[in-house]
Structure 1
Amino acid sequence: MHIALLTYSTKPRGGVVHTLALAEALAARGNDVAVWTLGRGADTAFFRPVRPEVRVRVVPFAARDGEGVGERIERSIDVMSAALDTDADVVHAQDCISANAALRRGIPVLRTVHHLDAFTTPQLVACHDRAVREPVALLSVSAAVSAEVEGLYGLRPHVIPNGVDASRFAAAAGPDAAPARDRWRSELGDYVLALGGIEPRKGSIDLLEGFARLRASHPCLRLVFGGGETLFDYRDYRAAFDARAAELGIVPTVLGTVDDDALPSLVAAARVLGFVSTKEGFGLAAMEALAAGTTVVARDLPVIREVFGDAVLYASTPEEIAFRIGSALTASGDVDRDAGRRLARAHTWDAAARAHEAFYRDVIGQTSSSGTAAHAPARTR
């Protein structure tokens, strides 16, 4: 099959990581795969090398001073739509921006809904809504998100779980990677790690509040944030986070985007991964942490229960977060790490690619037999 996968960024966000891994797995199975993305600023490539079998199309997207979030979203759609030129058998978008770009060009598009967000910016609301209602078919990476989409839109996406590069993160916990872990511990000491930046969906302030309750019993413990590259504007939330951190007398370490080669050892060296998002589609970062043998404290959400079962420690309030991190640090609340590693190994990108191939063939067959137009509503799966 000729497959075009669309994403909105070159940065290491969860949906982008998913896009690249899926593209490589599909290409390894003999498909012709191209990945289209926006290259903001001077970006001309993704955050990591992509296997040469996958063709990469980075659409230049220059920064504009003073541009608001809504304007930036609209321009992102316009720029990507104008550049998108593909006769692929399947065009598969991973986010609302790239889905809208294809729809605006009149291209029938499939869409993976990784999670549903509640936006207030009008352009984002419209982008999000159209990218659920108008694709020819929908996917999600968990049954919980699929059910949420059905409840709000009356359309039930087909579920294909994420894969995970478990061997890469397991290797970061092995003896050969000890020097890399030691470098992080030398720089950071004992630390609780959060990935994805400081933003509302990640529950960053709740994690901060929970961490503050641990200082008396763990005075040398540090709170570390990695990642956080996004098109969206979370300045108000970040200001609230910084103000609360100052009130609590906490100075978090904010690493920003972490080099892809260094990420596994950063995860493996952490005492705990704080994964207290208020919304998730699957929880790829948490699954990578389990592969590395790192204990995960996660918010108690239906999707996390579905994907992780008893492999993580659950907490929702700052008090619960503090208790669970504290118990993990003392091993009294530890989970079965071998079970976590087995769970991570069970989610392979090859299995995800095979499931996508079957879904693509089904959609192509149904579209061909029904003469589905470019703007037909998404089918319930």
Structure 2
Amino acid sequence: MRIHQLTYSTKPRGGVVHTLALAEALAARGHEVTVWTLGRGGDRAFFRDVEPAVRVRVVPFAPRDDEAVGPRIVRSIAVLAAALAAAARDEGAPDVVHAQDCISANAALDAGLAPVRTVHHLDRFTTPQLVACHERAIVAPVARLAVSGAVADELAAGWGLRPAIVGNGVDADRFAAAVHDPRTARWRQRLGPYVLALGGIEPRKGTLDLLEAWALLRVRRPDVRLVLAGGETLFDYRDYRAAFDARVEALAAGPSGDAARPVVLGTVDEADLAPLVAGAAALGFVSVQEGFGLAALEALAAGVPVVARRLPVLEEVFGGTVAYGQDPRSFADALDRVLGGDAPDPAAGRALAAGARWDDVAARHEAAYAAVLRDGGDGGAALDLGGAVLAR
């Protein structure tokens, strides 16, 4: 099959990581795969090298000073749509167009293509252009996939749609091997014992709750630092970041001084990511909304204990392999327990991660694509994937 995978960014966000890994796994199975994305800020390539078997098309997207989120979303869709339409006209339409987010799904639709859409998680926006982008990207694609049963249930309850469930994969071997990487020891030497959070400072990640949990934890474990990595996003979280920074300043004004400041790394080089994860004493995964939980699966692959918010989707995916909390105090208590050695069996977490193989995920996508090509779409009901994927 000729397959176009679409994503909105070159940066290491969860959906982008998913897109690249899936594209590589599909190419390894003999498909002709092209990944399309927008090159924001002058980017000409993804955050990591992509296997040569995958063709990469980065569409230039020049920054504009003081452009608000809404107009930037509209322009993103238009720029990517124009590139997709031109390619379809000049090279012929692919067999499958698979969009991994609302921007790329809308771009495919505007280009006259009929995308399959993976819904990684459902958002609640207030910006009108984002609301419209989100809604159309759910109802208009020819077929929908969900990465977990919880997301599938949300689509059924909110829109009467029943997507097939195709879970995520993880490069478990990479994160397991990072335990012995010299860079892991260097992270520990630089930072001391640390609780890591990935994904940046934003409302969906529950960063303020984790900051408050760490402030409580420091009373019992003053040597443990909080480290935040990642954070590239299209959306405007300035108010949330301002509230976070104000709370940090208030904590730093106390008797602990600068020791009460978390370490904010920003985006980390790809070569350093797995060692950073493997070097952590624990991963704080307190998102208020998730679709699957890739970062937690990566940590489990490295044998790092995870403290997660008790969300239905995370209980579905992780079961008893992680510790749970629901608010800053319970997060602090759970972190204290796992740091003290009272953590779920790491062997169970490693086994869970090792079972999430990208080749299996690619095979399930093959079945989904074949069903779309055979039936013309999902018609709002779960695709018949021949038993390869369970749909609720």
Q: So what's the TM-score if we normalise by structure 2?
A: 0.93
> Is 1:135–1:378's contact at 8 Å kept on the other side of the alignment?
no
Deviations 1:130-168 (A, max 9, x none): 000000000011000000011111101110010110000
Aligned 1:203-218 pairs, distance under 5 A: 203-218=206-221
5+ unaligned residues in a row in structure 1: which ranges? none
**What is the rounded CA distance, in whole Å, between the counterparts of 2:185 and 2:355 in structure 1?**
29
5+ unaligned residues in a row in structure 2: which ranges? 253-259, 383-392
Aligned 1:287-326 pairs, distance under 5 A: 287-326=297-336
Partner of 1:185: 188
Specify the SS of the correspondent of 2:195: strand
Q: CA deviation at 1:6?
A: 0.2
**Percent identity for Structure 1 against Structure 2:** 63
Q: CA deviation at 1:379?
A: 2.5
Deviations 1:272-295 (A, max 9, x none): 000000111110000000000000
Partner of 2:142: 136
Q: Choose 319-328 or 180-189, whichever is displaced more.
A: 180-189
Specify the SS of the correspondent of 1:262: helix
**What is the rounded CA distance, in whole Å, between the counterparts of 1:215 and 1:307 in structure 2?**
30
Alignment partner of 1:364 is 2:370: no
Q: CA deviation at 1:248?
A: 2.0
Partner of 1:282: 292
Alpha carbon RMSD of aligned pairs, Å?
Answer: 0.9
> Is 1:132–1:378's contact at 8 Å kept on the other side of the alignment?
no
Q: Which amino acid aligns with 2:104?
A: S
Partner of 1:99: 105
Q: CA deviation at 1:378?
A: 5.3
Partner of 2:9: 9
Runs of 4+ more than 6 Å apart: none
Q: 2:281 aligns with which of 267, 271, 274?
A: 271
> Is 2:197–2:284's contact at 8 Å kept on the other side of the alignment?
yes
Q: Which amino acid aligns with 2:118?
A: T
**What is the rounded CA distance, in whole Å, between the counterparts of 2:222 and 2:316 in structure 1?**
35
**What is the rounded CA distance, in whole Å, between the counterparts of 1:104 and 1:4 in structure 2?**
15
Partner of 2:75: 75
Q: 1:202 aligns with which of 202, 205, 223?
A: 205
Aligned 1:41-60 pairs, distance under 5 A: 41-60=41-60
Partner of 1:19: 19
Partner of 2:38: 38
**What is the rounded CA distance, in whole Å, between the counterparts of 1:245 and 1:228 in structure 2?**
18
Deviations 1:232-270 (A, max 9, x none): 111110001111121222311111111111101100000
Aligned 1:208-247 pairs, distance under 5 A: 208-247=211-250
Specify the SS of the correspondent of 2:45: coil
Q: So what's the TM-score if we normalise by structure 1?
A: 0.96
